[in-house]
Structure 1
Amino acid sequence: MSDRIHPYTRIVGAIIVPFLVAAFMLLYPLAATTDRFFAWTILPPITAMLLGSAYAGGIVFFVHVVRPNRWHAVRYGFPAVLVFATLLAVATFIHLDRFHFGFLAFYVWITLYITTPFLVLAAMIVNRGEDSREPDEQEVTLPAWVRILLAVIGLCSLVVGLTLFVAPQLGISGWAWTLTPLTARVCGAILTLPGMVNLWMLRDPRWSAFRQIFQAQLISLALILLALALRGGELLWSRPSAPLLVCGLAASFVAYGALYVWAERRRRRLTPTTPRG
């Protein structure tokens, strides 16, 4: 098995990256202008920044897909992207009346989410069997307790995300900031991303299989925390979910960062040095 990323998959990544960059720019620094420039008006702006943060992580992930790389280093990100894109496509058609018909951004959005689930699924199919599941020469194996803990966190995130998507009224009544049925479903779709990644840790102990995906997750978490700091006035602090969400995200960032640093230090120790001379 070659552990290669099929050329088709690289092409899909190269197509998706520019759209993610454009979406991030419209949703994160221009979060307050979605009524004029985006496919639909997102209020409050912190929801737009949350979605933009997810797209920023997507940029990092798909750059790894496009560059010279191995399939096993990115494979576990594809099921997460498939679920995320499918849920956003479903949410779009459920709430089609909320979108800005006639805007270029709307046509780009709907085209992207009609096609992306099929493109990503096809990429998973053409790359099937490429991963030999053999460890690298300088492989770091994640301890079982770390993988179980992260899988439990991921399962909680996945359950909450799917609950928000299926029953958005629960989010409207209890979320950390104001939601509509559409934004509740969008937040739910975002929460499925770490859930769909972390559950694979029960199957694969190789750090090399998650290292680059963790880079994307850390970027997303950092931007979400920055959004909370910049838009803290939009949080409904009277609801228990507000401090719980802030503390949970901060703790996740610290835990993910600590694991990344620990694993990278071990990986560098295992890397053979090139003799001089």
Structure 2
Amino acid sequence: MPFLAAAFLVLYGLPDQTTRYFAWTIRPEMTPIIMGAGYGAGVYFFYRVSTVEEWHRVSSVFLGIATFTWLMAIATVLHWENFNHRHFTFDLWVFLYALTPILIPAVWALNRRTNPVELTGNGPHLPRAVRVLSGGIGVLLTVSALGLFLAPQLMIDVWPWTVSPFTAQILAGWFALFGVVNGVVVLDPRWSATRILVQSQILGFTLVLIGVVRAWANFDPSNVLTWGVVGGMTLYLIAILLLYLRMETR
């Protein structure tokens, strides 16, 4: 949580100061804003991990985080020369993404063995249509994200704001996290298994859309994908807000 909180404060709070305060220079501001929003949502998620007693309430998110940490570790090795090796945040970044690709899967495996997920129990269940839709979106986005990670030039050519091969792969890692956790939702029908994930996503997407307003100058309005990305995130946020309200009142 302290690592994630620090990253949130720097990347989301000072997106134009990454040269001075972060492990490498990120331009333009929209990329660090998305990263910061993700880390901010991560602070909330891991806070909830530390407070809940039932593993199934957070288990699905760990698979997405594991995927993300592995992609971050690979991107770090591939773009080693892009880092500011003299900055202490570089050491923190390397420490974090050397440790978490092992730690996160280990936490998932240990808890799955000692706290097996039972799919029965009281409480509301997600509608089947929501689970199928979430699973479909998750699979599609995961495959797309992995493809963009392997071929970042595809994103560079069409993305609504300027990205480098490094930042394209970083963004693909975030998309893969989102895709995997949405895909895993289909495996457990209970609302209690999805509630914390949805809360984290509401926070993350709200921060991103506020960031879109802050960094609108980074976008190319003539690019159709600009409206697809911004509109898609807006519709998704509205959808999960409505889902959350419906499930909480059942």
Q: Please give the range of the TM-score, normalised by the shorter of the 2 chains.
A: over 0.9
Alignment RMSD (CA, Å) = 1.1
AA in 2 matched with 1:22? A
Q: Is the contact between residue 78 and residue 124 of structure 1 (CA under 8 Å) also seen in structure 2?
A: yes
AA in 2 matched with 1:225? L
Deviations along 1:201-227, whole A, 9 cap, x unmatched?
222111100101111111110011011
Match of residue 116 from structure 2: 131
Q: CA deviation at 1:193?
A: 1.7
Q: Using structure 2 for the length normalisation, give the TM-score.
A: 0.97
Q: Distance in 2 between matches of 1:84 and 1:77?
A: 11
- In the TM superposition, structure 1's runs of 4+ consecutive aligned residues that sit over 3 Å from their partners are none
Q: Does 1:86 align with 2:86?
A: no
Q: Is the contact between residue 81 and residue 193 of structure 1 (CA under 8 Å) also seen in structure 2?
A: yes
AA in 2 matched with 1:148? V
Q: Distance in 2 between matches of 1:125 and 1:81?
A: 13
AA in 2 matched with 1:245? V
Q: Is the contact between residue 72 and residue 97 of structure 2 (CA under 8 Å) also seen in structure 1?
A: yes
Q: Does 1:140 align with 2:124?
A: yes
Q: Does 1:149 align with 2:149?
A: no
Q: Distance in 1 between matches of 2:22 and 2:148?
A: 23
- Alignment partner for residue 21 of structure 2, among 32, 37, 46? 37
Match of residue 9 from structure 1: none
Match of residue 217 from structure 2: 233
Gaps of 5+ in 2: none
Q: Distance in 1 between matches of 2:52 and 2:218?
A: 42
Deviations along 1:14-41, whole A, 9 cap, x unmatched?
xxx0000000001001100001110000
Deviations along 1:52-81, whole A, 9 cap, x unmatched?
011111111111111143100000010100
Match of residue 4 from structure 1: none
Q: Distance in 2 between matches of 1:180 and 1:33?
A: 18
Q: Using structure 1 for the length normalisation, give the TM-score.
A: 0.87
Q: Does 1:195 align with 2:179?
A: yes
Task: Give the secondary structure class of the aligned counterpart of 1:76.
Answer: helix
AA in 2 matched with 1:147? R
Q: Distance in 1 between matches of 2:185 and 2:36?
A: 26
User: Which is worse superposed, 22-31 or 201-210?
Assistant: 201-210
Gaps of 5+ in 1: 1-16, 267-277
Task: Give the secondary structure class of the aligned counterpart of 2:220.
Answer: coil
Counterpart mapping for 1:207-218 below 5 A: 207-218=191-202
User: How many residue pairs align between the two structures?
Assistant: 249
Match of residue 107 from structure 1: 91
AA in 1 matched with 2:139? L
Whichever of the two has the greater Rg, that structure is: 1
Q: Distance in 1 between matches of 2:109 and 2:86?
A: 35
